[in-house]
Amino acid sequence: MKKYIVLIFTSALFLTACNHNPEKTYWDYMGDFDMYYSKAYESYSPNKYLKDGTTLQEPVQGTVSREFIPYPFKDKFGDKVKAGKLLKNPFQPTKENLERGKMKYNIYCAVCHGQNGKGNGPLTKLKRNGKKIYPVPPADLTSDFIKQKPDGEIYHVITMGSAVMGAHASQIKPDDRWKIVLYIKNGLK
Ligand code: HEC
């Protein structure tokens, strides 16, 4: 008999659960005491519980975000040569990788180096009061000087910049930097 009572009771519980009507307000088990009604702060709202008074906090010092690999070389000439010796391009010049490299090159590099890589992109022609705004000519990426460079050196230049050329580490992910290198080494084809 007891067994039947338990069975009826549990099936009744299940049936009521199935019958839940989201439009209707039911009884709260713990009501306001629990976290039924979350009083979450908006990311950009003030917050009296945190030291600097804002909800959104800076990451803890030394935090490395997922998929980010810290770059071990510095922005100096000796390190470019070192990067050239130690870093290997992890990608092969497949059609797909070259296309990806071309797409990224045309977005980030062609403004200065030109779509053909000759160093004659639109920014090099800009003038103000008769003077060139970017007077230093970008390297000709089709030259033998660039062709004989190890992949790692070009990767280093994209990551750290080179003299007047700015660093592109924050705009271009490591994989895409390597694919740009493949595209350049393949004669921008
Ligand atoms: C705002 C203009 C500008 C942009 C954008 C730019 N560059 Fe440059 N780049 C230059 C200039 C100017 C130089 C020559 C400076 C130098 O190294 O003396 C240069 C030099 C280079 C060199 C030769 C460095 C060396 O070792 O001598 C390479 C390789 C290069 N750029 C690749 C790239 C790639 C790849 C991109 C895109 C991710 C890019 N650049 C984006 C202006 C630019």
Residues ≥6 apart with Cβ < 8 Å to 179: 91, 97, 98, 100, 101, 104
**Cβ of 138 less than 6 Å from ligand 1:** yes
> What's the CA gap between 153 and 27, in Å, rounded?
67
Side chain identity, residue 45: S
> Which of 141, 123, 140, 120 has the alpha carbon at shortest distance from 183?
141
Q: Averaged over 36-51, what is the pLDDT?
A: 88
Give the distance (Å) from ligand 1 centre to CA of residue 139.
6
pLDDT digit string, tens, across residues 1-27: 677 766 666 665 555 555 667 888 777
- The predicted pLDDT at position 33 comes to 65
Pocket test for ligand 1, best of 73, 81, 113 (most atoms within 8 A of CB): 113
Q: What are the tens digits of pLDDT across the range 125-145?
A: 999 999 999 999 999 999 999
* Among 15-29, 34-48, 170-184, the least confident range: 15-29
User: d(Cα 142, Cα 140) in Å, to the nearest integer?
Assistant: 5
In this prediction, residue 10 carries a pLDDT of 61
CB 56 near ligand 1, within 6 Å: no
Which pLDDT score, from 0 to 100, does residue 19 have?
Answer: 64
What pLDDT shows up at residue 8? 65
Ligand 1 near 136 CB (within 6 A)? yes
pLDDT at 138: 97
Task: Return mean pLDDT, the chain.
Answer: 89
Mean pLDDT of 32-42: 75
What would the two tokens of residue 63 be?
A: 């935090």
pLDDT of residue 178: 98
The predicted structure's pLDDT at residue 114: 98
CB 46 within 8 A of CB 55: yes
pLDDT at 182 over 90: yes
What pLDDT score was predicted for residue 6?
Answer: 64
Q: Residue 15's pLDDT is what?
A: 53
Which residue is closest in CA terms to ligand 1's atom 11?
138
Token pair, residue 73, equals 């070389």
pLDDT value, residue 76: 85
Tens digit of pLDDT for each residue in 63-109? Answer: 888 877 789 999 988 999 999 999 999 999 999 999 999 999 999 99
Q: How far is the CA of 4 from the centre of ligand 1 (A)?
A: 81
pLDDT confidence of residue 159: 97
Determine the Cα–Cα distance for residues 9 and 163; give it in Å rounded to an integer: 78
Instruction: Give every CB contact of residue 151 below 8 A, 6+ residues apart in sequence.
Output: 84, 87, 88, 89, 178, 181, 182, 185
Tokens of 20: 């839940």
Residue 184, token pair as written in the block: 């350049």
